[in-house]
Structure 1
Amino acid sequence: MVSRDGAAIRVSSLLVDGCLLGFIFILPFFFLRLVLLPSHRGVCLRHQRRSIYTRRYRQSRAISRYVLRKFKTPDAGTNNLLRDGDLEGSALVDAWLDVEALLYEPAVHAVFVQHRVVPALGGAPDEKVIGESVEKLRKVLEVYEARLGERRYLAGDDVSLADLSHFPYTHYFMGMPYAAVFDAFPRVRSWWQDLMARPAVQRVAAMMDGQ
């Protein structure tokens, strides 16, 4: 059973973006299932005979928002990953989710595809694509380094969905030879280590690693 902790729910849902299937979350009085559609082009959330369908993987963030708002725990005030009720805070979460979706993920995803997917399909990685993507990532990390010099996390002083959304592909990326790009950004590396120290994140990382 996946933890009811909001972070665990969000991170586990992100695994669908990484094409890991069959995650079923069993919560009191609810059954919630996330599946990859047969077309392999979208993610579908099915809950109480209703479906929320997204055509693109990055739109699974909408599903994550739904999950976090639908299954709020009594202590949501101290574990509010969306900053609901805080106009400025929620705007910051949305802004950094956009940065992650539009700038960060495309760079690490391209490397992931070339390093992990292409060889698995019998092809040869395109080193030019990898090099260009790592350079794009470096430029994004420069922005992150500056931001993390101002606040502990991207959207403020507490962890949010904006931080946790980085987990799946970054976890894979850190196991690749190109992870050294992070070494030039000590605040970013510290931020990542902080995320990895969270028990919920460690549990999902173990699942991803087949432990």
Structure 2
Amino acid sequence: MKPYSLSCVLVSLMMLSGCTAVEPDVFDGEDIVPIGYDTFSLHDHDGYTYGSENWSESVTVVQFMLTNCWDVCPTQTQDLSALYEEFSDYIGKDLEFVSITVDPWRDDQVALTDYMTAFNTSWPMVTVPFLNDENLSVIEQVWNDFGITVTLLESNNSTSVQGRGHTVYYDVEHTDGIVLVDREGMQRVRWTSDDWDLNGIRNDINALLNGI
């Protein structure tokens, strides 16, 4: 091979390598390769229809929680409440908060409203309007779209939910935390109890508000 030809090959390989390099993380939390989600319609704590259209052109903080959680959920809810107040000037225009239950069998409108009162929160908390296979499939699709796993574990020490679709005592094992969605409706960053950091979440919200 001629010397100049070898040089051309090396330059081409270097350019190709640069084009395929993995970009560095841009968020403090776990970066998500931008991905959307299916449209959905559920109900909020007041019984009003709440769905993906409520997030139109806003950065959205999506929490996955349950009212019967006594470890990470309360801490995360308290931290989100502080951020909600801090970003109050953006709420309703550029920024939305929402909590989606992973326990629709127990978390009806009354349970969610009581939880909001206990933690002094005012953003929507969302569940199914009533329990049937169709509504459960809707909220299960939301969990799947956001990478949330939900497993029911039988427990003798938990609350009975007879009358809300289950006749056994159970606990819920689930993926905790939040997902931040950008103005284009793309999931961008995830925070869980494994790396939860209030300052980092604040930074990521600001980054998305600034169009990153």
Tell whether the structures are fold-level matches, with TM greater than 0.5. Answer: no
The structure that is helix-richer by fraction is 1
TM-score, normalised relative to structure 1 = 0.27
TM-score, normalised relative to structure 2 = 0.27
Q: Larger Rg: 1 or 2?
A: 2
The structure that is strand-richer by fraction is 2
